[in-house]
Amino acid sequence: MNTTAKTAGPPPTISVDGVGRNFTVSGQTLVAIEKIDLDIQQNEFVSIVGTSGCGKSTLLNMIGGLDEPTSGEIRIDGVPVDGPGRDRGFVFQTYSLFEWMTVEGNIRFALEKSTFARAEKDELVRHFIHAVGLSGFEKAYPKQLSGGMKQRVAIARALVYKPSILLMDEPFGALDAQTRGMMQELLLKIWEDHKVTVVFITHDVDEAIFLADRVIVLASRPGRIKKDMRIDLDRPRSYEVLTDPKFAAYKREVLTDIREETLKALGAGQA
Amino acid sequence: MSAPQSRQPRPRKKSASLFQLRQDIPDRVFFAAGFVIPAALLLIWWLVASLGLVKPLFLPGPLSVIGEGWRQLTEGILFEDASVSIYRIVVGWAVATIVAVPVGILMGNYRLVEGLFEPLISTARYMPVVALIPLSILWAGIGDGQKILILFLGTFFQQALMIMDNVKNIDINLIRAGQTLGFTNNEILRRIILPAALPGIWDTFRITIGWTWTYLVVAELVAANSGLGRRIMDAQRYLSTDTILFGTLFIGLLGLLTDYLFKRAGKSLFKWSSQTR
Ligand SMILES: Nc1ncnc2c1ncn2[C@@H]1O[C@H](COP(=O)(O)OP(=O)(O)OP(=O)(O)O)[C@@H](O)[C@H]1O
Ligand SMILES: [Mg+2]
């Protein structure tokens, strides 16, 4: 039984069609993702949750062109994905900044392959440093920044060249709760201002619901879509939504699904 | 934002704070601590020698070793030996490095290159360099080339493997970030992998030049008429234990100095690195 997350309507920005991914681990085939069908519309904010090892990163990497499906196909605006491209920006959990470059240098580096004029690039760098609240830290090196600040540089670096899609793999996973909350609000603001399609992976159910238009729950071993849930909460969102009864209902549903999957994984002795 | 101040700050126990797990201690204390054990050894040495517990032939006292050092210094022997040896060390290490850096970097990035070189290098690094002296003479004669060849052989293989590891240890997501930003493999190699691995590679330089020093005596074992290692081997013939001891300690001292210089240079070259402290 497969839940598909295909949609009717306008052609999707991201279309994942019957995608599976097997790994060969010491001669054995490991089915990381069995078969996923998923459409994501332009400017949609989609969160993906699921137990550890269910294939979230694998799916995101394939959308990003960093990994290839074993079966099926992924298309961006109708064009099959063939490697990474500048229509997609990526933010990793490990920050992954270029330590030998300043904040400004990191962001400017991302523009090197863009065709913008020089003055435009300067303006873009300035704009995004401001958008992530790092004005005044242009000349700082990543080593001198806190985790939240580093991740803000990474977000600016992933957006400065104007990709239409932002892929984020547990970007706030390493941050403390307060910083995390601030980063979520910042991300929503940037998303509203810049109109990008976001695919956001997280372990945190609150975070998934708070941010997204849709929450996709993945089933584990092998990975497939267990639920595709539309989140009907008002935008723009603020932290007050966390106490909304609708929020609680969504949360209960997602938690139940994840618990089921975790128990299954435990039962299979794989967790 | 200021935290509420408690009216009576508790005095911290100074003595206990030196023995906290992984806790930093004042730089001066750390620095001074390094002299404690050498000073104790020196004291024991001096006591043993001056009480006549061991014959001077086997263990000359500190004063006679220092006297020997003074003699070598004033007669100009020390300077000549040291400059010849340092020249050999620098050239031997530099040649090894010039080859090991590209080989190591390519091994760390391309599985094929790793497959090509790994078995050879892993075997070669266990070969005793002393055993290669006869061959090295046959191939490189008895001049400086032979000494440098020995130092090269002692350094290169380990160094190439360590540089491979330095390259492999960088965060894979840095490479992925480069790919998503549209850089070619070649650009990623030069502009991301290389700078990211550089602090680690520098540390490898520091460690391997230390090893090059340890091969100095081996390199100057045969057919040398000057050099710090040569002086030690010659002294053996005349049982000049003070010369042997002085030479050994002096090589150790130069090694320490090299290490220090590399550390200092690394600190200022890679201020940005989170590995450098
Ligand atoms: N390169 C690889 N080689 C072999 N197996 C892999 C590889 N990458 C992922 N896997 C396996 O595929 C499965 C899914 O991995 P993936 O990293 O996508 O999980 P995840 O949902 O992101 O987990 P987490 O929440 O812990 O990040 C896991 O069982 C993992 O061991
Ligand atoms: Mg993951």
Residue A234 lies in a domain: yes
A52-101 pLDDT, tens digit per residue, is 888 899 999 999 999 999 999 999 998 899 989 888 999 998 889 999 99
- Evaluate the omega torsion of the peptide bond into residue B128 and state whether it is cis, within 30 degrees of 0: no
Q: What's the rounded Cα separation, in Å, for the pair A217 and A223?
A: 10
A114 inside domain: yes
Whether the CB-CB separation of B195 and A98 falls below 8 Å is answered with yes
Q: Are residues A112 and A236 in the same domain?
A: no
Tell whether A108 is covered by a domain.
yes
Interface membership of A141 toward B (CB under 8 Å): yes
Please say whether the beta carbons of B42 and B33 come within 8 A.
no
Task: Please confirm whether the linkage preceding B4 is cis (ω < 30° from 0).
Answer: no
What is the distance between the alpha carbons of residues A250 and A211, in angstroms, rounded to a whole number? Answer: 13
pLDDT of amino acid B57:
86
Question: Count of domains in chain A?
Answer: 2
Expressed as residue numbers, the domain containing A135 is: 88-162
Q: Which ligand is the nearest neighbour of the Cα of A92?
A: 2
Residue A92 sits in the same domain as residue A64 = no
Burial class (CB in 10 A: 0-12, 13-18, 19+), B160: buried
For B23-81, the DSSP string reads: ----HHHHHHHHHHHHHHHHHHHHHHHHTTSS-TTTS--HHHHHHHHHHHHHTTHHHHH
For residues B144 and B86, what is the distance between their CA atoms, to the nearest angstrom?
12
| A225 and A102 inside one domain | no
- Ligand nearest to the backbone CA of A49: 1
User: Residue A112: CB partners within 8 Å, gap ≥ 6?
Assistant: B181, B183
The answer to whether B192 faces chain A, any CB pair under 8 Å, is: yes
Q: Tell me how far apart the alpha carbons of residues A84 and B204 are, in angstroms, rounded to a whole number.
A: 34
Q: Is residue A185 part of a domain?
A: no
Beta bridge partners of A223: A33
Indicate whether A78 and A200 sit together in one domain: yes
Would you kindly state where each structural domain of chain B is located, as residue ranges?
A: 76-269
* Residues of A with Cβ-Cβ distance to B270 under 8 angstroms: 100
- Residue A266's pLDDT band (boundaries 50, 70, 90)? confident
> Of A142, A162, A182, at which residue does a domain stop?
A162
Q: Is residue A52 part of a domain?
A: yes
* Residue at a domain's end among A162, A181, A202: A162
Question: Does the beta-carbon distance from B173 to A92 stay under 8 Å?
Answer: yes
Whether A53 and A123 share a structural domain: no
pLDDT at A119 over 50: yes
pLDDT given for residue A114 in this prediction: 87
Domain contains A1: yes
Q: Who contacts B177 (Cβ-Cβ below 8 Å, separation ≥6)?
A: A90, A92, A96, A98, A157, B192
Q: Are residues A129 and A143 in the same domain?
A: yes
Q: What is the pLDDT of residue A271?
A: 44
pLDDT in tens, A138-152: 999 999 998 889 999
Instruction: Give the number of beta-carbon pairs within 8 Å between A and B.
Output: 64
In this prediction, residue A3 carries a pLDDT of: 63
Interface mutation target, options B172, B173, B192, B270, chain A, most CBs of A under 10 Å: B173
Q: Looking at the domain assignment, is residue A183 inside a domain?
A: no
- For ligand 1, what atom is nearest to the CA of residue A223? 14
Question: Which atom of ligand 1 sits closest to the CA of residue A25?
Answer: 4
- pLDDT tier at B3 (50, 70, 90 boundaries)? very low
| pLDDT tens readout for residues A226-261 | 889 899 988 888 888 888 899 999 999 999 998 988
Topology, domain B76-269 = MetI-like fold (1.10.3720)
Work out the minimum CA distance from A135 to partner chain B, whole angstroms: 20
User: A45 to each of A108, A252, B4, how far by Cα in Å?
Assistant: 26, 20, 41
Are A170 and A137 a contacting pair, CB within 8 Å? no
By three-state DSSP, how is residue A32 classified? strand
| Residue B38 or B223, more confident | B38
Q: What is the DSSP letter of B2?
A: -
Alpha-carbon distance of A168 to A61, in angstroms, equals 10
Q: What is the pLDDT of residues B193-246, one digit of tens each?
A: 999 999 999 999 999 999 999 999 889 988 888 899 999 999 988 889 999 999
